[in-house]
């Protein structure tokens, strides 16, 4: 079935720098992608959804790039601040089985 690999598992950046998280998926039939943020002890907050007919989407300091040829999805947080510190998950939907498939998560730490 579909697998979503996410890297890096840990990422530490100074405040004001950019942070980039990359995901690779296996099933080219995956049609929908999402990014979720999980703060300690909290649920998952939906950051952005991207459909497979879109190559690039920007919202509120976040940029998602989708490279269907390489089956790669990336999230770029520009000008990160300490409030961005959390675990970020990339998620795919579609392909084999109509369900969300989660990546392994990236723990982002933004140092003031």
Residues that bind another protein (CB under 8 A): 4, 31-32, 34, 36, 42-46, 49, 51, 89, 93-94, 97-105
Which runs of E-coded beta strand occur in 1-112?
A: 4-7, 10-14, 19-25, 30-38, 44-51, 56-59, 62-67, 72-77, 86-94, 100-102, 106-111
Smallest gap from Cβ 91 to another protein, in A, equals: 8
Q: Which is nearer to another protein, 46 or 79 (CB)?
A: 46
35 contacts 91 by C-beta, under 8 angstroms: yes
Smallest gap from Cβ 14 to another protein, in A, equals: 28
- Dist. CA 10–CA 12, nearest whole Å: 7
Smallest gap from Cβ 111 to another protein, in A, equals: 26
Q: Which is nearer to another protein, 38 or 109 (CB)?
A: 38
């Amino acid at each position: 079935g579909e697998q979503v690999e996410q890297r890096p598992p840990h990422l530490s950046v100074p405040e004001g720098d950019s942070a980039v998280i990359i995901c690779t998926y296996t099933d080219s039939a995956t049609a929908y992608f999402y990014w979720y943020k999980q703060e300690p002890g909290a649920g998952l907050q939906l950051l952005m959804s991207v459909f497979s007919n879109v190559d690039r989407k920007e919202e509120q300091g976040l940029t998602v790039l989708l490279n269907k040829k390489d089956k790669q999805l990336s999230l770029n947080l520009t000008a990160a601040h300490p409030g961005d510190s959390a675990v970020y998950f990339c998620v795919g939907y579609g392909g084999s089985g109509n369900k969300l498939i989660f990546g392994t998560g990236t723990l982002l730490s933004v140092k003031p």
